[in-house]
């Protein structure tokens, strides 16, 4: 049974994952942690991603940390292959895997049935040319004929997604919706979500940003950014440069913001990220929510794991779906 700790940023997921890994370790195969945070994949992006320093990992093996150069673009499909290989290896050692992260798509790609159809440059180019000459509404009408469900979810003005949907239909011979993730685990798992009242979480976010600034976030971003980005390093790729805490400082280095404005933007955007994460995980009825500030948090989480091991957890239909922070 895989244990996954999910939820918004700044709720203490990493600490709980470490506590659970320690409690669930059984000699001779201690539990191991698998990261599911898209930006913790990057080497050197430590302070801004709240990556647990090696000295504080309590001797627990961590996977999918520091596996990409910041100049590389992250790929969910590549992560799925690599992280599932880690899960296979952990299981082969007779150990427990504890997944932790707030990147919803990465968690779903790791735990759920989710396929990533390939691409065909010729097909894509042809569809993009049609979008230019015929207009995106013509593509939307074709998608409505081939896959009504996909057309309903993709607006007629979203050219990029329309092209991708029609590309997948042509390549696979199946509806685009057939490739969307299903809420169905590829192997037994239990998801433990950490929730927090909005005012408390807002305060946690502000405190985290304060600690990051003191811990050297500015120096970290400057050391990674290229001279053209206002730094001294080789630069941040498209994916890495979008990370909260990095994007705002890059704007400061470029002269678009003052330091105070960049700092406030990091706080604001981190709070916005937390709400987005809550919306994503809150729509999954399989997540079992716990109060991040509970004094019995670890005991409550272990009780959920024991119930999952014994197949005694309530089915999703018996539990309400969490839709917002503090709900």
Q: Does the annotation list 9 as a binding residue?
A: yes
Q: Does the annotation list 12 as a binding residue?
A: yes
What's the sign of the alpha-carbon dihedral 132, 138, 144, 145? negative
Q: Does the annotation list 13 as a binding residue?
A: yes
Q: Does the annotation list 8 as a binding residue?
A: yes
Convert the chain into a string of H (helix), E (strand) and C (coil).
CEEEEECCCCCCHHHHHHHHHHHHCECCECCEEEECCHHHHECCCCCCCCCCCHHHCCCCCEECCCCECCCCCCCHHHHHHHHHHHHHHHHHCCCCEEEECCCHHHHHHHHEECCCCCCCHHHHHHHHHHHHHHCHHHHHHHHHHHCHHHHHHCCCCCHHHHHHHHHHHHHHCCCHHHHCCEEEECCCEEEEEEECCHHHHHHHHHHHHHHHHHHCHHHHHHHHCCHHHCCCCCCCCCCHHHCCCCHHHHHHHCCCCCHHHHHHHHHHHHHHHHHHHHHHHHCCCCEEEEECCCCCHHHHHHHHHHHHHCCCCCCHHHCCCCCCCCC
Q: Does the annotation list 10 as a binding residue?
A: yes
Q: Does the annotation list 14 as a binding residue?
A: yes
Q: Does the annotation list 125 as a binding residue?
A: no
How far, in Å, CA of 54 to CA of 60, rounded? 9
List binding-site positions: 7-14
List binding-site positions for substrate: 9-14
List binding-site positions for ATP: 7-14
């Amino acid at each position: 049974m895989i244990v996954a700790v999910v939820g918004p940023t700044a709720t203490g997921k990493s600490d709980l994952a470490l506590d659970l890994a320690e409690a669930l370790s059984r000699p001779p195969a201690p539990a191991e942690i698998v990261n599911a945070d898209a930006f913790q994949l990057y080497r050197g992006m430590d302070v801004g991603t709240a990556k647990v320093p090696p000295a504080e990992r309590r001797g627990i093996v961590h996977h999918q940390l520091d596996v990409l150069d910041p100049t590389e673009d992250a790929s969910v499909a590549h992560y799925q292959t690599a992280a599932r290989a880690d899960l296979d290896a952990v299981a082969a050692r007779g150990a427990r895997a504890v997944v932790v992260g707030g990147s919803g798509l990465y968690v779903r790609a790791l735990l759920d049935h989710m396929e990533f159809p390939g691409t065909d440059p010729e097909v894509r180019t042809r569809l993009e040319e049609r979008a230019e000459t015929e207009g995106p509404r013509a593509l939307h009408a074709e998608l409505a004929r081939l896959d009504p469900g996909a057309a309903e979810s993709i607006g007629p003005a979203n050219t990029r997604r329309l092209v991708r949907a029609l590309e997948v239909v042509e390549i696979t011979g199946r509806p685009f919706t057939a490739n969307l993730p299903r809420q169905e685990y590829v192997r037994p798992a239990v998801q433990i979500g950490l929730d927090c009242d909005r005012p408390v979480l807002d305060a946690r976010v502000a405190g985290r940003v304060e600690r990051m600034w003191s811990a050297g976030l500015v120096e970290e971003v400057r050391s990674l950014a290229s001279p053209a980005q206002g730094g001294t390093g080789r630069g941040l790729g498209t994916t890495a440069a979008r990370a909260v805490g990095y994007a705002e400082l890059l704007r400061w280095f470029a002269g678009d913001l003052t330091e105070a404005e960049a700092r406030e933007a990091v706080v604001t955007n981190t709070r916005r990220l937390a709400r987005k994460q809550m919306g994503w995980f809150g729509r999954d009825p399989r997540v079992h929510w716990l109060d991040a500030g509970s004094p019995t948090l670890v005991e409550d989480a272990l009780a959920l794991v024991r119930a999952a091991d014994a197949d005694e957890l309530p089915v999703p239909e018996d539990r309400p779906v969490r839709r917002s922070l503090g709900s």
